A and B are shown apart, each in its own frame.
Chain A
Amino acid sequence: MEEFINIGKRIPKLDAEEKVTGKAVYIHDLKVPGMLYGKILYSPHPHAKIKSIDTSKAEKLPGVKAVLTGYNIPPIKFGFYKDNVPLKANKVCSLRDEVAAVAATDLDIAEEALNLIKVDYEILPAIFDPEEAMKEGAPLIHEEHVGGKEKKPTNVLNLPWRLIAGDVEEARKNSAYVADDRFKVTWVTHCCMGTSGCVAQFDLKNNLTVYSITQIPSLEQRDFTDALAAMGLKGKKARVIKTMIGGGFGSKLDTYAFEYIAILLAYKAKKPVKIIFTREEEFFATSPRQPAIIDIAQGCTKEGILTFRDIKMTLDNGAYTSWGATTPSVMMMPISSLYKVPNVRYIAKCVYTNNTYCQAMRGYGNPQATFAIDSQMDILAEMAGIDPLDFRLRNANMPGDVTPQNFKINTCGLRECIDAVAQKLDWRQVRGRKDGRGVGMASLIHVGGGARVYKSDGCGTIIKMDDFGTVNVFTGATDMGQGSETVIAQIVAEELGVRVEDVVVTHSDTDICPWDVGAHASRTTFVAGNSARGAAKKVKEQLLEVAGKSLSESPENLDIRDRTIYSKKDPEKKSPLGKVLRAAHYTAGGSMVMAECFYDPNNENLDREFKGNLSLTYAYGTHGVEVEVDKETGQVKILRYVAAHDVGKAINPMLLEGQVYGGATQGIGYALTERLILQNGKVMNPNFLDYKMLTAKDVPNFETIVVETNDQFGPFGAKGIGEPGLVPTAPAIANAIYDAVGVRIKDLPITPEKVLAALKEKTNPK
């Protein structure tokens, strides 16, 4: 076993001291000289024509420096489908539609100005149910949007998600047992503790700088460059500088109206403009996880071998389309490849409604799909008379498998995860008591080696070394709290034979840092890590080359350990790193020691049939839960929570555990308490009293099991772990509730009311 100095160590986050002392600068803390404050006026109706807007009074208010509406801004379109604009003209389609914006010298004036804007609306019939919205004659959200062969106006998006492998109909006929169910999942939202915001600023030449909290700096830069072109500023430059990010979880994987509004206000006022969301705005004007109606059938043989999986899904897209509309492509992953299933059919529709539009949220569709799949695994196991543990083991994926979606599974620790969870929970002894206590488990597959959802899945790194041995790493990766900065420093330090404290990671500025597709798909440790390691290897070669000359030793005989270059043949031949670096700089014809590496994993975009090896490796895991259900109140209490994950290799076990604990906590919220309640398109609980995020009192003491499969493609063997922690949580809990009291809840969240109703229904069937 190789001995590591920096890898596998519980090294504190590099930015932890800055954060724990309150010195870290978040977007809320940033002040730019001359800065104005922007505020947005939202539509009071979910669907209406704008008949007129009168901003004259607002414009006259002292302190107001700019007022904008959809009628006086350039034609900027944004979103995955380019169906959204920063400020709406003619029509509003949801209650978060932006109709006007002001910039003023302080927030109070900006708010007062909003009150002075008069908008006349003609209310239109609205639709909030995706199944209703698909029907003939339903009100159209976007009249110009057409679909189908006849190119008829429709609310169904032209994103025909469809994955077919094998023959589902035939397999259904030949199955000994078939389960058919409908599951429902609803809106939940990221609840980043730091609300959304940005500061937009133009220089004298109309080049744009946006201080941002994005998870996609490079793509955001591109979006803003396009916006500049639409504003008649073609050729002007956009620069994105990230401040500290107060939580991401997928919420910042797109550009949003408020950012374009800040840009437009700053351009009009010729002053920097800051927009910060209130918590209420954060709840109703950011994009939650998609609700879905999931019709699922799975079958198995008498022996409990899965024969097919057949899923039809309807997703509520809301009124506009973000990258979130592509989550069905990620749902294909568990649908095709969680457990071995030879025949698969998956058809999904995203439908426009007058609800809030949805976005990526940790897991990107996977939690929704896995809730249905792994809840139904238990239903099917019971039909077949097989212990759900054995049922999962019999169908577990194995290294070397090629799944129906053409995923090439290289390392796979799923069996180890299932076994480890069963052992920890004492599964064979405690299952099936039906005395109010029960155990359940569920598993996951997720991309763990990048994910080619965009043309490139790459990340660039530049490394330069200074005269004293400090390693400056410039990475495209985004640290939003998950700790990528620290993990990258560990990888670079290990490769270069230095210590983490010698490494300074810069990841904040598109003018300085190389390109990266974004902090999504649990890809940062894998992709940015490989990129950083590649650059470090090149730097090391240069160092050994230079040192070889001064030490009169051939470079291949040299290595670096503890900031010293030494000869492996003659340990007396050695030189401190700083000395070697200075020698390199200060020699006639000298050179800087620096290198770059762009790493783009050799994974594949999905083809026209939505097949292809999306990721270079896949992460697996199993969560096991013991619950106690109060039959009088329907309350579910989690007694034990075991999370086993195949992580490839834990680069930093402490940060890894943090990802698992945090993910599982969000998962428990998804399972039991969290729900963004929308009534006629209106978010009814835009605050933390009514939106039930878990507190420290609600969360169990998680037990984690780290399974290391040392993936050949991962940096030092690592796979991604950002999202997996919440993927199997909800089905594991639902399965445990069933084991405890014999009721199966198929829609999230599993509230006490639902449990109680199901218990009543069970004792007194209607």
Chain B
Amino acid sequence: MNKRILSFTLNGEPVEVEIEPHLTLLQVLRDKLELMGTKEGCGMGECGACTVLLDGKTVNSCIFPAMEVDRKSVTTIEGLTDAQGNLHPIQKAFVEYGAIQCGFCTPGMVLSAKAILDENPKPTEEEIRSGIAGNLCRCTGYLQIVQAIKAASGQQ
């Protein structure tokens, strides 16, 4: 198969990678770039575990064609901690509010939370719940996740 060069910005750094053009963004992240923080929960764009940010907006990377991110900017969970490895305030709040149990949905959930807060720094509870409705969690019942996002927005 003809390979193509995909160039994009990944977590603030330029990346060039040779890929088969049919690959999904998730496959490129996990299999080519070995960034294992982005999870595959369903592979059908239904559960949100694979959520990453593309130019600041959430996409389900498991069904997103990798070639579509060419010359765009992708943020994965690995890009949220700062250079010193300090947690992003949303990550901190997830830890402190018990928003994590098995943790499989967590990277996607955190990125959805980031997209909500980047667009709307003081969301209502309803806006938070709508904003993460595409991210399924089987463990927590969502309440502590909602509390964490509220706290990260300085509202708790």
Contacts and interface: CB of A to CB of B under 8 A. Distances in A.
Interface of A: 10, 12-13, 15-26, 28-29, 190-195, 244-249, 278-279, 480-483, 654-655, 657-658, 661-666, 687-689, 693, 695-697, 699, 701-702
A723 to B, nearest CB: 13
Interface in B34-93: 35-44, 46-47, 49, 76-78, 80-81, 87, 91
Contact of A699 (B35, B76, B80, B142): B142
Contact of B95 (A12, A26, A192, A480): A12
A592 to B, nearest CB: 33
Nearest to B132: A696
25 contacts: A12-B96, A12-B98, A20-B94, A21-B78, A21-B80, A21-B87, A22-B36, A22-B76, A23-B37, A28-B40, A193-B47, A279-B43, A481-B139, A654-B144, A658-B101, A661-B140, A661-B143, A661-B144, A688-B47, A689-B44, A695-B134, A695-B136, A695-B142, A696-B132, A702-B143
Given A194-B102, A245-B102, A657-B143, 7 more contacts: A15-B103, A193-B41, A279-B41, A658-B139, A661-B142, A695-B142, A697-B133
Contacts of B130: 696-697
Contacts of A655: 98
Contacts of B129: 696-697
Size bracket of the B interface: 35 or more
Contacts of B141: 658, 661-665, 699, 702
Nearest to B148: A20
Given A193-B136, A702-B143, A21 B81 contact: yes
Contacts of B30: 29
Contact of A193 (B49, B94, B96, B144): B49
Interface string B15-27: 0000000000000
B100 A693 contact: no
A17 B95 contact: yes
B98 A10 contact: yes
A134 to B, nearest CB: 34
A665 B94 CA distance: 19
Contact of A16 (B42, B95, B138): B95
A21 B37 contact: yes
A94 B81 CA distance: 48
Main secondary structure of the interface of A (DSSP, over half): loop
A266 B107 CA distance: 32
B107 A22 contact: yes
Interface in B105-152: 105-107, 110, 128-130, 132-146
B8 interface: no
Contacts of B100: 13, 16, 19-20, 481
A689 to B, nearest CB: 6
Given A279-B44, A696-B142, A699-B143, A22 B133 contact: no
Given A22-B78, A661-B144, A247 B104 contact: yes
Contacts of A666: 138
Nearest to B81: A21
Contacts of A279: 41-44, 46-47
A441 B145 CA distance: 26
B46 A689 contact: yes
B95 A20 contact: yes
- Shortest Cβ-Cβ A-B pairs, 8 listed: A22-B37, A19-B103, A481-B102, A661-B141, A665-B141, A22-B77, A246-B104, A481-B101
Contact of B42 (A10, A248, A687): A687
A665 B44 contact: no
A191 B98 CA distance: 21
A247 B46 contact: no
Contacts of B46: 279, 687-689
Contacts of A247: 102, 104, 138-139
A78 B30 CA distance: 34
A247 B41 CA distance: 11
A561 to B, nearest CB: 26
Nearest to A483: B101
Contacts of A480: 102
Contact of B101 (A28, A190, A482, A664): A482
Contact of B103 (A10, A12, A24, A657): A24
A480 B54 CA distance: 31
Contact of A26 (B76, B96, B104, B133): B104
A347 B110 CA distance: 48
A244 B103 contact: yes
Nearest to A20: B91
Contacts of B145: 696
B87 A17 contact: yes
A93 B67 CA distance: 44
B105 A193 contact: yes
Contact of A192 (B36, B96, B98, B102): B102
Contacts of A16: 94-95, 100, 103
Contacts of B135: 696
B95 A688 contact: no
B85 to A, nearest CB: 8
Contacts of B42: 279, 687-688
B89 to A, nearest CB: 12
A545 to B, nearest CB: 38
Contacts of A13: 95, 98, 100-101
A184 B42 CA distance: 30
Given A20-B94, A21-B77, A25-B36, A278 B43 contact: yes
A12 B96 CA distance: 6
B153 to A, nearest CB: 15
Contacts of B80: 21
B150 to A, nearest CB: 12
Nearest to B98: A654
A166 B137 CA distance: 45
Contacts of B146: 696
Contacts of B137: 193, 696
Given A191-B138, A193-B136, A662-B139, A20 B103 contact: yes
Nearest to B146: A696
B83 to A, nearest CB: 14
B124 to A, nearest CB: 13
A18 B36 CA distance: 12
A26 B39 contact: yes
Given A193-B47, A664-B141, A688 B98 contact: no
A391 B77 CA distance: 52
B43 to A, nearest CB: 6
Contacts of B143: 657, 661, 699, 701-702
Contacts of A278: 43
Nearest to A656: B98
A541 B139 CA distance: 39
B144 A29 contact: no
B44 A687 contact: yes
Contacts of B105: 193
A650 to B, nearest CB: 13
